[in-house]
């Protein structure tokens, strides 16, 4: 989360906890697998009229937690710290249930935001892009963390609960509860707008949840998580989601064909794994169209063509995804701004 400003709006949270529709429980293993693997790009204002899922289409909290359990217990390796244990995962679940009761915010929604922010790594580093964002929820100017430069293992139960409570908006000035209130919506769009506000501090003046600052795909990713999507690589494209006004199915990012933005932003989201490669290309020594964030003095370049993604670049050049990001400042963690026709640094 990188919310830098917020305005509290009067709102009744009774609507968040009472009269909620019955959640969808997948009726078979096949149905459950299909629900948990598909991704839909949601564009527009977050309303059902724009194709966003109704609350009745969300999976139940228990089903979502079960579906995400493998990701949660493997979420810390990328930071070279100890993964979340089964005990810690159980404490996360208890903390979400308690935070939902205290805040009035739906438990499934809290879980979806946590997965978007940290994948459930209890020892996730604190990020700071102008505002301190620590812990499981990367909360706004929060205090609870098990990684303040030195990790705690095990992560204390009361710290895990504080991480979730602060993210949910309990006992703090800003969290999910306040973001939902700020949305000023009374239908299910309050959650999708609230997610975008939690991420960036506001919704773009156009009302489009894919436009504005920070992570353009944030609300779409959260909506998919609520339906059961668990894949680490989002199929949403940062450069194009802001131009969508409805929903459409998708399977991945393969050489973004949209015009790259003049300025690119990064947020505190945990790095995600790239999608499977489609094609490869050979490195070049002289760039025709160098990526704006490429390392100065770069000696070896890779020209992106149709079908490429970060995994394809890594396999073609022998450069890891982490190295690729280091050599190309601004390349985002889910590789959605790998621009078609641009040349990226693959060797300093």
Most confident option among 46-50, 308-312, 329-333: 46-50
In terms of Cα–Cα distance, which of 214, 253, 260 is closest to 234? Answer: 253
Task: Write the pLDDT tens digit of every residue in 279-297.
Answer: 445 577 777 888 777 888 8
* C-beta separation of 64 from 271 below 8 A: no
Pairwise CA distance, residues 43 & 56, whole Å: 19
Return the pLDDT at 82: 97
Residue 100 has pLDDT above 70, yes or no: yes
Residue-wise burial string across 258-281, b where 16 or more C-beta atoms lie within 10 A, e elsewhere? bebeeeebbbbbbebebbebeeee
Return the pLDDT at 268: 39
Mean pLDDT computed over 224-232:
88
Return the pLDDT at 37: 53
Mean pLDDT computed over 315-326:
85
Pairwise CA distance, residues 167 & 180, whole Å: 12
Mean pLDDT computed over 9-33:
38
Q: Is 1.10.530 the CATH classification of the domain at 14-231? A: yes
Q: pLDDT above 70 covers what percent of the chain?
A: 76
Return the pLDDT at 311: 77
Return the pLDDT at 117: 95
Question: What number of other Cβ atoms are within 10 A of residue 49's Cβ?
Answer: 11
CATH superfamily of 264-348: LysM domain (3.10.350.10)
**Higher model confidence: residue 337 or residue 263?**
337
Cα–Cα–Cα angle for 58, 187, 189, rounded to 5 degrees: 65
Residue 13 has pLDDT above 90, yes or no: no
Residue 331 has pLDDT above 70, yes or no: yes
Average pLDDT of every residue of the chain: 81
Return the pLDDT at 336: 65
Mean pLDDT computed over 125-145:
93
Residue 40 has pLDDT above 60, yes or no: yes
Return the pLDDT at 250: 42
**Can you give the residue ranges of every domain in the chain?**
14-231, 264-348
Return the pLDDT at 266: 36
* Tokens describing residue 49: 């009229």
Give every CB contact of residue 239 below 8 A, 6+ residues apart in sequence.
216, 256, 258, 259, 260, 261, 336, 337, 339
Residue 22 has pLDDT above 80, yes or no: no
Residue 270 has pLDDT above 90, yes or no: no
Pairwise CA distance, residues 167 & 348, whole Å: 40
* Tokens describing residue 153: 């293992």
């Amino acid at each position: 989360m990188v919310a830098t400003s917020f305005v509290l709006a009067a709102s009744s949270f009774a609507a968040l906890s009472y009269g909620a529709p019955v959640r969808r429980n997948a009726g078979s293993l096949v149905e459950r697998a299909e629900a948990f693997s598909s991704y839909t790009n949601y564009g527009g204002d977050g309303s059902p009229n724009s194709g966003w899922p109704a609350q009745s289409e969300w999976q139940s909290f228990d089903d979502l937690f079960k579906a995400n359990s493998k990701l949660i217990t493997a979420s810390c390796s990328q930071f070279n710290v100890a993964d979340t244990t089964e005990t810690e995962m159980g404490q996360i679940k208890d903390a979400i249930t308690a935070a939902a009761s205290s805040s009035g915010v739906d438990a499934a929604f809290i879980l979806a935001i946590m997965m978007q922010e940290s994948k459930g790594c209890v020892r996730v580093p604190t990020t700071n892009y102008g505002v301190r964002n620590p812990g499981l929820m990367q909360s706004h100017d929060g205090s609870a963390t098990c990684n303040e430069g030195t990790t705690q293992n095990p992560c204390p139960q009361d710290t895990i609960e504080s991480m979730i409570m602060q993210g949910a908006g309990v006992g703090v000035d800003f969290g999910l509860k306040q973001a939902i209130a700020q949305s000023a919506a009374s239908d299910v769009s309050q959650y999708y707008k609230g997610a975008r506000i939690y991420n960036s501090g506001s919704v773009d003046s156009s009302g489009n949840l894919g436009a504005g600052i920070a992570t353009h795909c944030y609300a779409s990713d959260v909506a998919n998580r609520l339906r059961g999507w668990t894949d680490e690589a989002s199929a949403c494209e940062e450069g194009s989601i802001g131009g969508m006004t409805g929903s459409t199915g998708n399977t991945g990012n393969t050489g973004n064909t949209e015009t790259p933005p003049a300025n690119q932003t990064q947020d505190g989201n945990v790095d995600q794994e790239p999608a499977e490669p489609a094609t490869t290309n050979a490195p070049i020594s002289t760039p025709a169209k160098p990526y704006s964030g490429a390392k100065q003095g770069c000696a070896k370049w890779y020209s992106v063509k149709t079908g490429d993604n970060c995994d394809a670049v890594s396999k073609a050049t022998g450069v890891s995804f982490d190295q690729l990001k280091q050599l190309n400042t601004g390349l985002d963690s889910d590789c959605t701004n790998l621009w078609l026709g641009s040349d990226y640094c693959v060797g300093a």
